[in-house]
Amino acid sequence: MHSILISGAAQGIGAAIAQLFYRQGYRVGIYDIHLTQAQQLAEQLGERAHAGLLDVADYASWQAALSDFCQWAGELNILVNNAGILYSGAFEDTPIEAHHRTMAVNVNGVLNGCHAALPYLKQASFARVINLSSASAIYGQADLISYSASKFAVRGITEGLDIEWQKYGIRVLDVMPLFVQTAMVKDMDAATIQNMGVHLSTEDVAQVVYQQATVKDSILTNTHRAVGLKAKTLMQLSSISPQWLNRLSNSLLAKRH
pLDDT at 61: 98
Residue 240 has pLDDT above 60, yes or no: no
pLDDT band of 251, cuts 50, 70, 90: low
Percent of the chain with pLDDT over 70: 80
Residues 6+ apart with CB under 8 A from 18: 6, 9, 28, 30, 41, 45, 49
What's the CA gap between 183 and 109, in Å, rounded? Answer: 20
Instruction: Tell me what pLDDT residue 177 has.
Output: 86
Instruction: Kindly report which listed range (6-20, 50-64, 174-188) carries the lowest average pLDDT score.
Output: 174-188
Q: Which residues pair with 227 in a beta bridge?
A: 177
Nearest-CA neighbor of 209 among 128, 138, 137, 149?
128
Is position 26 annotated as part of the catalytic site?
no
Per-residue pLDDT averaged across 12-25, rounded? 97
What does pTM read for this prediction? 0.87
Please write the tens of the pLDDT for every residue from 151-175. Answer: 999 999 999 999 999 999 999 999 9
Cα(251)–Cα(191) distance, integer angstroms? 10
Q: Which pLDDT score is estimated for 111?
A: 98
CA angle 97, 99, 101 (to 5 degrees): 65
What mean pLDDT is predicted for residues 111-136? 96
Q: How does pLDDT run across 25-51, given as a tens digit for each residue?
A: 999 999 999 999 999 999 999 999 999
The residue among 1 and 253 whose pLDDT is bigger is 1
Q: Tell me the C-alpha distance between 187 and 159, whole Å.
A: 32
Of 227, 106, 222, which Cα lies nearest the Cα of 162? 222
Residue from 87, 147, 168, 210 carrying the catalytic annotation: 147
* Residues 109, 60: Cα–Cα separation, whole Å: 11
Which pLDDT does position 180 carry in this prediction?
47
> Could you give the CA distance from residue 82 to residue 68 in angstroms, rounded to a whole number?
19
Q: How many other CB atoms are there within 10 angstroms of residue 32's CB atom?
A: 28
pLDDT at 250: 46
Domains of the chain, with CATH numbers? Answer: 3-253 (3.40.50.720)
The pLDDT value given to residue 197: 47
Question: What pLDDT score was predicted for residue 239?
Answer: 62
* 237: pLDDT strictly greater than 70: no
Q: What is the mean pLDDT of the chain?
A: 87
